[in-house]
Amino acid sequence: MIMINSTQVSYFTFGAYFDIGLFKYLFFLIIMCFYALIVCANVLLIVVICMNRTLHEPMYLFLCSLFVNELYGSTGLFPFLLVQILSDIHTVSAPLCFLQIFCVYTYGSVEFCNLAIMSYDRYLAICYPLQYHTRMTSNKVAVLIALTWLYPFVGVAVTIALSAPLQLCGNIINKVYCDNYSIVKLACSDTRVNNIYGLICTCILVFGLLSLILYTYMKIFKVCFSGPKQTRQKAVSTCTPHLASLLNFFFGSLFEIVQSRFDMSSVPMMLRIFLSLYFLTCQPIFNPLMYGLQMTKIRSLCKSLIFGKL
């Protein structure tokens, strides 16, 4: 149980919400439409990839995993956000708060792992086109996707197990959703184990995967600059959506880190809320639109699925 001054606490209060009067109904409608768009776009692409055998290739299977993760992360945030917007008392029970932390943190970790695996897949396809299918077998694809989901789930579960028993000196979270770092900052008890474990996980996840991404793109650029025009065109067409998704994710993560770790009291409240929500709201809609519009095969199959039935 979570303790505050030796008293059991069953809820947290969000300090980032403020009274906006009747505008809360307008914000509710906008966010609900945004969530519906995210669900429809990602479900459409998942259905297209699953129903068409021509898309049962490593690149599209990794994309399917990415779109499933967008649905998962959005569902962990948007319904909760919609309820809080309409509520006059912005509180959440402790179990539900830790459940949301689990969803949000696993979403971010799985997203990063997926993007790293996709960069490795593009590296093999561009640098070793003749050996691609022998290097990227169906068994290897299954193992990579399983690890992409398994490692974050186990790692975040341990994080929650370390944070839940902490003795807290307050229950106010200065954000619009639950965040593990905010809860650890409220702790009166020793948090060295939490900090050491968080640092180790961050080093393994961030530096390990970032090194993989940088290495693969260095090799891809080397092949592009030294290869024929056809190779460059193939690299541009397949890597542009992935690079755009990577940059969007990195900027969103940077916004979240800056907003959480540094004093932002001089920044307007609405801007702080936007920065904290950017990578949780923009990435789930950015990816399906980017891949759906940029990749010809997916775009044509989406048109045939929608307009063909009509």
Tens digits of pLDDT across the chain (310 residues):
444 444 446 788 888 777 777 788 888 999 999 999 999 989 988 988 888 888 888 988 999 999 999 999 999 999 999 988 888 888 889 899 999 999 999 999 999 999 999 999 999 988 888 888 899 999 999 999 999 999 999 999 999 999 888 888 888 888 888 888 888 888 887 788 988 988 888 888 888 899 999 999 998 888 877 767 776 777 777 788 888 889 989 888 888 877 777 766 677 777 777 888 888 888 998 888 888 766 666 767 766 766 665 4
Distance separating alpha carbons of residues 69 and 222, to the nearest angstrom: 31
Distance separating alpha carbons of residues 219 and 202, to the nearest angstrom: 25
Extract the tokens encoding 74: 């959005």
Helix and strand tally (H, E) in the chain? 11, 6
For residue 207, the tally of other CB atoms under 10 A from its CB is 10
Distance separating alpha carbons of residues 152 and 292, to the nearest angstrom: 27
> Closest by alpha carbon to 178, among 150, 193, 156?
156
Domains and CATH numbers, the chain: 10-309 (1.20.1070.10)
Whole-structure pTM value:
0.89
Strands, E assignment, 65-195: 91-93, 167-168, 172-173
